[in-house]
Amino acid sequence: MLRVPAAILDSIESLHLPPIPQILLRFLHLADDDSTTISDLAALVGQDPSLSARILTVANSPAVWRGVESKSLTQCLVNLGTRLSRTLAACLIVQNFFSPTVDKDLYDFSGFWGHSLRLAETARAIATEINYSDVEEAYLAGLLHDIGQLLLLGGVGNRYGALLAASHDESALRDLENQALDTDHSVIGAWLVDQWRLSSFMADAILFHHKPADEIVTADTLSQIIWSAHVLCEQLPLQTAAEPVHTAELAAVKAIAGIEAPGLYALWKHCSDRVVQIGEALGIRETVDQKTFPTTTMPLESARQEPNNGNPSSSPMEDIVRDMALMQSLQQDLLSLGSEEELLVEVREAARILFGIGHIALLLVQPDTAVLAGANIDGQPIMLQQLEIPLDPPQSLAATTALGKMPHSTFAQRFPAPVSLADVQITRILASEGLLYVPLRSPKQTIGVLAFGISAEKYGRILKQLTWITSFGQLAAISIETWRELRSREQRLESAVSKRYELQARRVIHEARNPLSIIKNYLSIVKKKLPDTDVLHELDILKEEIDRVAVILRQMSSPVEAPSASGSLDINSLIESMFALYGDSLFTNRGIATETYLDPSLTAIDCDRDSVKQILINLWNNASDVMGTGDCFFISTHADINQNGRIYIEIRLSDTGPGLPHDVMQHLFTPLDPNRRPGHSGVGLSIVAGLVDRLDGRITCQSTAGRGTCFSILLPRQKG
Task: Kindly write down the DSSP assignment for every residue of 680-710, as one continuous string.
Answer: --S-HHHHHHHHHHHTT-EEEEEEETTTEEE
By CB atoms closer than 10 A (0-12, 13-18, 19+), residue 629 is exposed
Task: Give the per-residue pLDDT at 336.
Answer: 67
User: Can you say whether residue 460 is alpha, beta or left, with left for phi > 0 and alpha for psi between -120 and 50 degrees?
Assistant: alpha
Rounded to whole angstroms, the maximal C-alpha distance in the chain is 110
Task: Give the per-residue pLDDT at 240.
Answer: 63
Tell me which architecture the domain covering 16-302 has in CATH.
Orthogonal Bundle (1.10)
CB 585 within 8 A of CB 540: no
For 591, list phi and psi in degrees, rounded to 5: 80, 20
CA atoms within 13 A on the CB side of 627: 28
CB 365 within 8 A of CB 391: yes
> What CATH number matches the domain at 567-716, 3.30.70.980, 1.20.200.10, 3.30.565.10, 3.40.1410.10?
3.30.565.10
CA angle centred on 120, ends 119 and 126, rounded to 5°: 85
Q: What's the rounded Cα separation, in Å, for the pair 62 and 344?
A: 14
CB 300 within 8 A of CB 106: yes
pLDDT tens, 587-620? 998 899 999 999 999 999 999 888 898 899 889 9
Q: What's the rounded Cα separation, in Å, for the pair 321 and 711?
A: 55
Task: Give the per-residue pLDDT at 532.
Answer: 67
Sign of CA dihedral 303, 309, 311, 312: positive
Task: Give the per-residue pLDDT at 61.
Answer: 81
pLDDT tens, 210-257? 999 999 999 999 999 999 999 999 988 876 655 667 888 999 999 999
Task: Give the per-residue pLDDT at 513.
Answer: 63
> What CATH number matches the domain at 316-488, 3.30.70.270, 3.90.550.10, 3.30.450.40, 3.40.50.300?
3.30.450.40
Task: Give the per-residue pLDDT at 568.
Answer: 86
CB 458 within 8 A of CB 10: yes
CB 45 within 8 A of CB 77: yes
Task: Give the per-residue pLDDT at 679.
Answer: 45
What stretches in the chain show pLDDT beneath 50?
305-314, 559-563, 679-682
DSSP state of 561: P
CB 102 within 8 A of CB 307: yes
What percentage of the chain exceeds 70 in pLDDT? 84
506 Cβ contact list (under 8 Å, min separation 6): 557
Question: Closest Cα to residue 85, out of 362, 333, 282?
Answer: 333
pLDDT tens, 187-215? 999 999 998 888 899 999 999 999 999 99
CB 108 within 8 A of CB 297: yes
